[in-house]
Structures are given as C-alpha cells and as structure tokens.
Chains A and B, each alone.
Chain A
Amino acid sequence: MVDHAMEIPEHPTSTGLNNVKLAMWAFLASDCMFFGSLIAAYMVSKGRNVVGPYPEDLINIPFTSVSTFVLLMSSLAMVMALHGIQTGSLARFRIWTVATGLLGLVFLGGQIYEFTEFAHEGLSISHNLFGSTFFTLTGFHGTHVAIGVIWLFSMVLASFKPGLVTQRKSLNVEVAGLYWHFVDIVWIVIFTLVYLLY
C-alpha cells in the first residue's frame, strides 16, 4: 500500500464500516421513500386525466429505449471507473468516469428533447394531471442524474490534484458509484411503470 502524505488515517468504526458509505446507503433507503412517494402519486393519478394529451399520444418507446440503454451502459462505465481506481489506475478511472458522465449527459439531453417534444404537443406541468405527475416524477429523476453528473465531473477534476483521488481513497468513488447506480435502478422502475406499462 502506498502511504500518501496527505492521507488521513480513518478512525476505526464500531462496525468496521465506513461512515460515508453507510450514510450513502441510508440516504438511498430514504430516497427509496422519496421516489416511492412520487411513483405512488403517479400511479394513483394514472388514467384520471380529464383532458388530453394522454400518455398513449405522446410516449415514444423506441426513443426512450435508447435513453434507457444509455443509462444502463453508464452504470457499466461507472463500475469500470471504480475498478480502475481500486486497481490503482488513475487513467482508467478518469476515462471511465468521464464516459459515465457523458452518458449521463446524453440521457439528460434525451430527456430535454423528450420534454420539449411533449411540450409541443401541448403537455405541461399545469395542462393536465398526466403532465403534472409525469414531469414531476421524471423531472426529479433527471435532477438526480444532473447532480450525479456534476459529482462525477468534480471527481475527475479533483483527480488532477495529487492525493485527492487515490487507490486508498477509492471509497469516495465507490460512494459516488452507489448514488449513480441507484439513479439507474430508479430509471429501470420508471421505464417499466411509466413507459412500457402506460
């Protein structure tokens, strides 16, 4: 193991588990409730529109399938980045993290495109119940993605300052990864419930 000059020795914890990682899992549990409530609101409001457009008029499965695929692959890139830093390769960490972030950006671009398309069809957050629930649910997911992208790129930037992103500190990358994958699994659920099963 390389002892880095800036290394802060971890305080041993009662469970041996890292504080930040445990906090991230607790946060994800909490976020399950957050998206659970949003999805519940979407599901109970489904089919109660009093005016169109309705989901079936708008939803574009081929397009969203591609976005879904992009997000899934970003998860792959994320684990590759983590593997990179865990095996001590800063270069692979950077490449894969940038790839993850870029895939995230592609997904976001897709979402923006989708939102504008829907808006052209007359859908808006205030137009009907579908608009309200759809934009809120997918919008919050998109916000999560955006925060993730910022986080990932910040890590890449930080990695240029020696000692900030290292093999010993791969845990920071792992924690970011947990967040990123969670955003991905939320999308798995949304894709099925909101798109495939509209």
Chain B
Amino acid sequence: MASRVSVGPVPVTSEQTFAQPRGVWSWITTVDHKRIGILYLLTALFFFAVGGLEAMLIRVQLARPNSEFMSADTYNQMFTMHGTTMIFLAIMPLSGAFFNFLVPLMIGARDVAFPRLNAFSYWALLFGAIMINVGWLFGEAPDAGWFAYANLTSSAYSPGNNVDFWVLGIQILGLSSLAAAFNFLITIVNMRAPGMGMMRMPIFVWMTLITAILIILAFPALTVGVTMLMLDRFYGSNFFVPEAGGSPLLWQHLFWVFGHPEVYILILPAFGIISEVLPVFSRKPLFGYSAVVFAGAGIAVLGFSVWAHHMFTVGMGPVPNSIFAISTMLIALPTGVKIFNWIGTVWGGHVSLKTPMLFALGLIALFIVGGISGVMHASPPVDSQHQDSYFVVAHFHYVLFGGSIMGLFSGIYYWFPKISGRMYNELMGQIHFWLMFLGMNLTFFPMHWLGVQGMPRRIYTYDDSQGWNDWNMFVTIGMFVLVVSFVFFAANMLMSLVVGERAPDDPWDGATLEWAISSPPPVYNFRTIPLVTSRIPLWSEKYPEVYGGDDHGAHSYEQPDVDDEHGREHMVPGAHGDSHEHEAHDAHGHDDTIHLPNPSYWPLVTAGGIAIAFGGFLVSYIMVGVGVAMTVIGIFAWALEPAITYVAPTTSDDAAHDHHA
C-alpha cells in the first residue's frame, strides 16, 4: 500500500511489546482504555461507599424524631454531599468505567479515538472529586443541596467556603465528562471494526453514544450556570441577585436544562448494560433491536424538552406548566418501548438466573416503579403535593438505585470475569442481589408514604407530633439490610480477586466481541481487527444453524465494502480455545502492525494544572497563575509528543489466514 511507511522504533518482538507494563508509574502514565476503565471503576466504587456512608449517617439521624445525632449544619453537608457524590462521583464514573473498558472491545477497536484525552478525563475526575470533598477537612463541605439553588448559594446567604468547593469541583468534573464524551462519540462513530455498521453495534455501545451526545449538549449549560455562580460569589456579579434585578429562577432553568438530560445520562448506560445481559441469559437475541435504539434516541431528544418539570411550583404559570407536563409524560412512551422489548427478550427465552441476570431483571422491576412515580410528578397539580417531599426522594431512588445502580451492578458481575480474569462466587452474588432487592424496597418504598404524609425532604429533624416516626425508623432499618448486602458484595469481589476460579474467555456464552478474546484481554485487545457480519457476532459463529441468517444491519450506509458471503468465512471465532489463532483478519487486509498509544504523563499534568488553577481561587491568584501555566505547558507538550508507536509485525500465522492477500 502506498501509504504504508515504516517509521518509528525498530520492530520489537511481540513478547516485549505486549507484556503488561508494571508498577505505579505505569498506571499513572497509562493511556490504555482498559486500565483507565479499571481506575474509573475503583474510584467510582470508593465514592459509592463514601456516598453510602453519608446515606447511613442521614438515616441514623432521621431514625428518630428530634434526634441529636447531627447538627443541622452537618446534616446539610451530608445530604448535599450524598447526592453530589452518588451522581457525579459514583454513577457517572461507574458508567465511565464500562464505557472505557468495553466500548473499544465491543466495537473491535484497539483503543479509543484519543487515548491521552481519555487519561485526562480520568485525572480530571479524580481531582474534581477531591476538590468537592476537600471541604470535609475544614468542616465546610458543600451544604446547599445537589442542585445548589440560587440565591441561597450567594455569598450573602452562604458566606463560608462550602459552596465554593462545590462550584470549583463541579467545573472540573464538567471538563472531565465533556472530554470523555467527545472521546466516546468519536470512538463509536469512527473506530468500529469493519462490518460493524451502526445498526450492528451492541446496544450498550448505542446507549454510550447517546449518553455522550447528551453530555456534550447538557454539560455546557451547567458550566455556564456554575461559572455565573462563581462570578457572583468571587467577583460580586449579579446574575442571581434579586436585589440587583438578577433572577434566582435563571439558575434553576440553567441547572435543569442540564439536570434533566443528566438523569438520562445516569440511566442510559445501565439500560445499555442490561440490553446486553438479558439476551445472553435468555439465550435469545434482543427483541426489537431497532426499536430499542430509536427509543433511546427518542428519550435523548425529548429529554431536552422537559427540564421545567422540576419547577412546577415556582410559579411559571399554567401554560408553561401544561407544556412541560405533556412533554414529560410523553417520555413514558419510548421508555415503555424499551421495557416491553426487554420483556419480549426474556419471553420465551431459556432464562438462567445468574447474578447479572438477576440484577438486570431487578432493574426492570424497580425502574417501572420509579418511572410510574415520575409520571405522577409530571402532573403539575399532583406535583404541587410531591415537590420537595419524600415522594420525590422515593421516585429518584427507585430510578437511580433501582435503575442505574441495579444495572451497573449487573454489569459489574457480568464483566467481572472479563475484567479480572477470575470468576466471582455465584452464591454470594445471589445473596447480594436478594438482600439488595429486599433492602432497596424496604428503604425506599415507604418513602412514598412519608411523602404522601407531607414529609418534606432536606429536613435534618422532625417532631414527634408530625406523625412520621414509624416509617422513618422502618426506612432506617431497611437501609441496614442494604448495607449488609454490600458487605456480601465487597467480600465477594475481594475474595474472588484472590481465590476466584480462573475465568474462561467466554463464561456466559456471550454474543459480543469482548468474549472472543482472553480474560483479561491482552494489551492490544485484538491481534487482528475482526470482521463483523452480525449483531451477535459470536453467536452467529457458534450457532450457525440457529443464527445463520442473522445479518441485521449489514446494509448500513457507511459500510459498502463489506460483503457478507466473503465475510462469513472471517467471522470471529468462538471463544473456545485460543482465540488469537483464529482471529479473523482486517477487511482491509494490510493491517500487519499493531499500533499502541504511548504512555504519557501530560494528561495528568494538564488535569493537575486545571485543578490547581481552580483551587487557586480559594488560595491566591499566584496559584491560579501556576495552574494555568501548568495547563498550557501540559497541552503543548501533549500536542508535540508522538502519540503512537508502530511496532510488532503480527505473527506469520495471521498472514496465513489472510484470504484477501
């Protein structure tokens, strides 16, 4: 090929190149999407535990009326940090962990489109998380709620540094999310293996794509809102200051323009995960693939038109309330389509109730409850009784815990063998599920009754005479069931990592590409890029008699060069045996080197610079300057260092498989 110019270092033998680099430094400079995924996973689990601990303290405080366990001040920090942590530091990074680890594997790529940007996203996440949490050290953690309504957040009413930590942390986290979103958008659109048309992508990849689009369009609104808040607080501007004509409602609008798409950012990855799990454990392809895809896209588009349903009680007037009520209710339609197609997938399948499947089914069962209460809020008159009461708290824990967390845990169990190379303990997984399912309902279902009985949220105490004692105690007890369930989870994970059985490449009889490679996957993922001819490439290969005719999505527009008849011979082999030897060859027939991104610490330097610059607003402008300088140096060095090493011609037996040659 004309363009193939050999450059770069002298070829090295494959053993040297592909050995997993070791040591802390190799993790700090890693740009390998799998390692970054693992970093995301560990960070997210850590913060999930932190958020869970905060929830525990909240529940202890609320167990009894007039409790003196915590002061109002501490409580306000607690619920603010609980919400913020769970949303920005637990669920989003947990989804990010799966995007990172799996998207390249599922689309048959060696890495993401911009590996160093990926590392940057992770470091920015970590620094943002530290920035938000550092307030605890000073007893000044953020305390204005996870949506930080103006003008309570103005310096007049929140004179401490609490809100500052929130503002600066959110800015950094926003950058992290945006960078990751661009990366995954481009990766999915552009890095698919030959033959994988858009309509052949696994649903998880589709949901990642839609999530990325939502992040790209939703986060700027938050960035702008938070910037204004920052200017209000640090430089006395008047955006949200009513005395100067500013409007606290402007904050609410900007926040929810971001905030509602955000809740779909939180749920769609989980939907994607269970769309992979359900077919595998029902041994039946997903029912209504295109309907599920379009429903996802529909949710995304509609999701931008409903934000003011969080503001039904601010006095927008009957006409806007009606419009937002209707658009909100309409979201039930595409979401329902997804639910029904999942049921259709299970229907008539050979259901195997392994832990991942239990969590996936748990998501469906619980999300329905949360979805229904969501539609109840969508009615403004009714919402005027729900808004800011525990009914809303019940709603969002059903969708967030019953939806996102259930789905993400399904994913953790499902891909644990692939990520760690070990099997988890099935019995303990089942116990975890049943305790969590039970505990979740014990904890969050009675919150509906508390809400109907008029208990407002965000109150650090209530009085005996208010009649909420029993259910609150009940809820707190339920929460301890949840805690016990997570003890099983943590024990299971830790033990399995050490003594778990070695995982085979394909323990679940999976359908997607990641099961074709070893567990854990090699650094380069695929020795040769597979050629995809089906939505369920592995099943088509393993069960040609059943799925032989399955060539859905073959005629997707941007893959004119893939021909099915030819392709079938090159299909990815099953995971039985050593996959490398059978791996199909790149359709283009000339991909005889493996390109791996170079390790780099510049992403870390850049992210660190940004964090230092933002932190400087609380310390001194000198620090801001240092941070900016570091960022600029980081960016230039990043741009100038060579990104990719070309190494390691593939072994000759791959060439033997090259039918195109």
Contacts and interface: CB of A to CB of B under 8 A. Distances in A.
B245 A19 contact: no
B6 to A, nearest CB: 10
A9 B3 contact: yes
B189 A22 contact: yes
B622 to A, nearest CB: 21
Contacts of A13: 190-191
B7 A128 contact: no
Contact of A15 (B190, B224, B243, B244): B190
Interface in A1-46: 3, 5-17, 19, 22-23, 26-27, 29-31, 33-34, 36-38, 40-41, 44-45
A129 B190 contact: no
B217 interface: yes
A26 B216 contact: yes
Interface in B198-232: 216-221, 223-225, 227-228, 231-232
Contacts of A136: 227-228, 231, 237, 239
Contact of B247 (A6, A8, A15, A44): A44
A22 B113 CA distance: 11
A81 to B, nearest CB: 19
A48 interface: yes
A19 B216 contact: no
B558 interface: yes
B244 A129 contact: yes
A132 B231 contact: yes
Contacts of B247: 44-45, 48
B4 interface: yes
A176 B49 CA distance: 44
B217 A45 contact: no
B245 A126 contact: no
Q: Classify chain B: how many residues form its interface, as a range.
A: 35 or more
Contacts of B196: 14
Contacts of A9: 3-5
Interface residues of A, number: 45
Given A22-B186, A23-B114, A128-B244, A41 B228 contact: yes
Nearest to B2: A3
Contacts of B182: 23, 26-27, 30
Nearest to B644: A8
A112 interface: no
Nearest to A17: B190
The residue among B4, B5, B192, B636 with the most chain A CB atoms within 10 A of its own CB is B5
B246 interface: yes
A82 B559 CA distance: 30
Contact of B238 (A17, A33, A126): A126
B257 interface: yes
A60 interface: no
B624 to A, nearest CB: 15
A169 to B, nearest CB: 13
A34 B113 contact: no
The residue among A11, A33, A49 with the most chain B CB atoms within 10 A of its own CB is A33
A197 interface: no
B364 interface: no
Contact of A12 (B217, B227, B588): B588
Interface in A140-180: 154
Nearest to A22: B186
A125 interface: yes
B235 interface: yes
A48 B588 contact: no
Given A14-B558, A125-B235, A37 B190 contact: no
B542 interface: no
Contact of B245 (A5, A26, A31, A48): A48
A128 B220 contact: no
A129 B223 contact: no
A171 to B, nearest CB: 14
20 contacts: A3-B3, A7-B5, A9-B4, A9-B5, A10-B3, A14-B190, A14-B192, A17-B189, A17-B190, A22-B185, A22-B189, A30-B182, A33-B216, A37-B224, A44-B247, A45-B246, A126-B235, A129-B238, A129-B239, A132-B237
Interface of A: 3, 5-17, 19, 22-23, 26-27, 29-31, 33-34, 36-38, 40-41, 44-45, 48-51, 125-126, 128-129, 131-133, 135-136, 154
Given A3-B3, A23-B182, 16 more contacts: A7-B3, A9-B3, A13-B190, A15-B190, A34-B223, A34-B224, A40-B254, A41-B250, A41-B254, A49-B244, A50-B244, A125-B236, A128-B238, A129-B245, A131-B238, A154-B636
